[in-house]
Each structure stands twice: as structure tokens, then as C-alpha cells.
Structure 1
Amino acid sequence: MAKLLSMKAVSERVGYSESKLYAMIREGEFPPGRKLATGGVRWLESDVDDWIMHAYEQAPEARLRLA
């Protein structure tokens, strides 16, 4: 079962402020949330985890460790 995260939980998980994340979403640099029928927005935990892994793999220091 997919776990849904609030913006606050996403912010805490990735270590960026909510305003930074919203700016990244507008720029296409972070996955947008999914609108719920109740009117709220949530992020799939798997989408956030995939973004974290991709960001880690793109970091120069990560490439050194993976080599």
C-alpha cells in the first residue's frame, strides 16, 4: 500500500523548507504532489524516495563513493 506524505513530512524528509520545495516544483525540479478528492495535496513516499536517490546519485561526492 502506498504511503502518502504531507508537505511538512516531505520537507522534513528531504531537508528543504516548504517554500524551497514549492519553488523546485514550479521549476520542474521536484515531483508535484497529487491532489486528493478531499482537496488536499500529498506526495507518494516512493516518489520522494526516488527523488532523494536520484539527487544522491547526481551529487559529485556520491559519484566518488560509487566508483
Structure 2
Amino acid sequence: MEKKLYRCNDRKLFGVCGGIAEYFGLDKTLVRIIWAVLAMSGGTGIVLYALGALLMENRPDYVSQYDNQ
């Protein structure tokens, strides 16, 4: 089966950091901390996160919390 990069279902904002962590087999908290450090050191993390949020797809099994209303 082919590995594909998706946004995480366990989201804090858009699920980008969680999706990257799942793809590479890393701890989600570690990836979020790395992103925060990049965001505070020149804003690179913010740009990368925004690109990820725009380009990464939702997981096929994703159900929004707003779909049940």
C-alpha cells in the first residue's frame, strides 16, 4: 500500500503537524514544538504550516465535528 501524506484527524488547528508526525512515525507533540520554534524564529513555520493546510488533503475517513449537526 502506498503511503500518502494526509492531515491528521486529531486536530489542534488544521491537522498539518499531526499528519506530518503520522507520516514519518514521530510524536505529534515533538512536531508541534518544532513548528512553534520555526514560527517564532523568523516566521518560516507559519508559512510552511499555511502551505501544508492548503495543499494537504483530509484523511479519507475524516468526519468534521460540524457534520453531525
Shorter chain as normaliser: what TM range? 0.3 to 0.5
TM-score by length of 1: 0.35
Q: TM-score, normalised by structure 2?
A: 0.34
The structure having more radius of gyration, on CA atoms, is 1
